[in-house]
Structure 1
């Protein structure tokens, strides 16, 4: 006869096993694609070829399947949709032990638009339920050289429109990945152009340059190749617009920080 402690240990073991199985199943379900309006899927039932169907998910999230009619699948993962269809077939007495497979053929419902300064802008499908911001940036070829470090995400959450600005370098510099947001169908990711500054006058390479974080006037000059033989760092001038749009002209120190759209003028030496 089994003692009480042994039975207790066995029960705890079974509960832990069920918990592990449940967690694994939930993780697998998150990796499955979530069906949305406009998706076209092929549904097959093992050993029932006459039930093979290609159908479209309607705008209301339903599809039509032989024997069971209309069924709600919008917002469900393919794994959950398979279980739902199998249950309807079994409960209706149509198939005793149905093994259903749902295969997305055309993904149109759950897409994310990636716009702006990325290498491959466009609309991309949410191939899994747990796809995150960095995954979609990688799908779009990454941020282009002209792109800013800050990414804007616009979408709907719980019926409300949200807008988030995510600092990508900070995201990877820390161990906190909470800002690597999980995406939803209809989200828009926008990568704006990186801030620029400008140099003209007696410099080796006058022109427009990307403004890096905490870039000083000296670093800005170095990016432009430094002054020419006739140029001098004395009497430098920076043209900067204030909040009202008025241009302010002043002489900076070499260790002063540049701001977006600053214009540096390098003057010719008088001697």
Structure 2
């Protein structure tokens, strides 16, 4: 590759590319673009506009207390000391003395309390009614958490708001292999990507959305978050990105740096596929670093790596020539022997 004077181009293979030097200007532009492209969940802002209220569903265990009226509080006459609740039936109602069926599904406990107080006044003077759901009675609504958590499974939605951070805590926390920035939420046949790293380590509450019944959270592993090192480095390899930020300087030092004997230190490249690339016609962003520059270490330490980036260090021209000759010379040495054998076979 030759960075001189090239800002963009088009290869014969149909791949468009843009070549950008790694310097103070490009680093500033990348940081601004990163801030602009940060995913902000509009669901969080919607959640904050309305105070959270749990709405009762079919199967919930509702407990009704009418003060000074034990015959209503415990109509079954239970003498074990453990009060029984009313299960919300499939039609969304539960039975209560004097009132027959009480509509519960889709309503809050406060809505039911007000209605029952008003209706019981026909039978009881100044009734004092309390309506709540028993601690083990939240049965109608739940979420599912899968992937890299310690205890995946179903978790109930209760009268306490359940957000992303709460769900992770209830699932026993994240495993060491969790990809924090790639958490997916399935809701209403749509997929929303959440960044738990920004939530847990940077305090970005826009990612801490309120979860709803039927939500499916998946925390993937970091297996696909790889960076590849090729060319004239001491140990060409690929490895999984750690949790958090990884810079070009870190990744080069982790593999022992560039090969001092064969590498062209002026031509270090980071090859990255553009996020705006249309399907079938990839566009590459190629970032060039001259590591012989006095400021190159500073720039390399500020250049943040992305998953699937390829770091390539070009060889010096003499190494290229030697490798080419090493490929051609053995063939040239074999040619006289081949010609001699052909002459023998032809009877010359």
Please tell me the TM-score bracket, short chain as reference: 0.5 to 0.7
The Cα of 1:65 is off from its aligned counterpart by 2.4
Structure 1 residue ranges without an equivalent (≥5) = 1-29
* Superposition deviation, residue 39 in structure 1: 1.9
Partner of 1:38: 59
Structure 2 regions of 5+ residues with no counterpart?
1-50, 77-82, 292-299, 320-348
Q: 2:219 is matched with which residue? A: 191
Q: Which has the higher contact order (CA 8 A, sep 6+)?
A: 2
Query: Deviation at 1:240?
Result: 7.3
Using the TM superposition, give the Cα deviation of residue 213 of structure 1 relative to its aligned residue in structure 2, in angstroms: 5.9
More strand by share: 1
For 1:207 and 1:55, locate their aligned partners in 2 and report how far apart those are by CA, in whole Å.
59
2:75 to 50, 60, 64: 50
Deviation at 1:208, TM superposition (A): 2.9
Q: In 2, distance between residues paired with 1:57 and 1:168?
A: 36
Contact 1:132 1:182 in 2 (8 A): yes
- The aligned length equals 235
Q: Which has the larger share of helix?
A: 2
Report the counterpart of residue 133 of structure 2 in structure 1: 103
Match of 1:261 in 2: 308
- What do the CA deviations read for 1:181-240 (whole angstroms, capped 9, x no partner)? 222222222223335225679867966322566633332244x45369999766989897
Q: What TM-score results when the alignment is normalised by the length of structure 1?
A: 0.61
CA–CA distance in structure 2, aligned partners of residues 154 and 174 of structure 1: 24
Aligned CA RMSD, in angstroms, stands at 4.4
What is the TM-score normalised by the length of structure 2? 0.50
Deviations 1:142-167 (Å, cap 9, x if unpaired)? 333322324333335xxxx6543333
| Larger Rg, first or second structure (1 or 2) | 2
Distance 2:271 2:55 in 1: 52
- Does residue 219 (structure 1) correspond to residue 247 (structure 2)? The answer is no
Alpha-carbon distance in structure 1 between the residues aligned to 2:106 and 2:86: 16
Residue among 110, 127, 135 paired with 2:166: 135
Per-residue CA deviation, residues 42-88 of structure 1 (Å, 9 max, x unaligned), is: 43433333266533223443222233122222233344434443333
Counterpart Cα distance in 1 of 2:203 and 2:227: 35
Q: Distance in 1 between matches of 2:252 and 2:263?
A: 9
Where does residue 123 of structure 1 map in the other structure?
154
The Cα offsets for residues 20-58 of structure 1, whole Å up to 9 and x where unpaired, read as xxxxxxxxxx67754222223343433333266533223
Q: Is the 8 A contact 1:227 1:266 kept in 2?
A: no
Q: Report the alpha carbon displacement of residue 93 of structure 1 after superposing the two structures with TM.
A: 1.3
Separation of aligned partners in 1, 2:145 and 2:313: 39
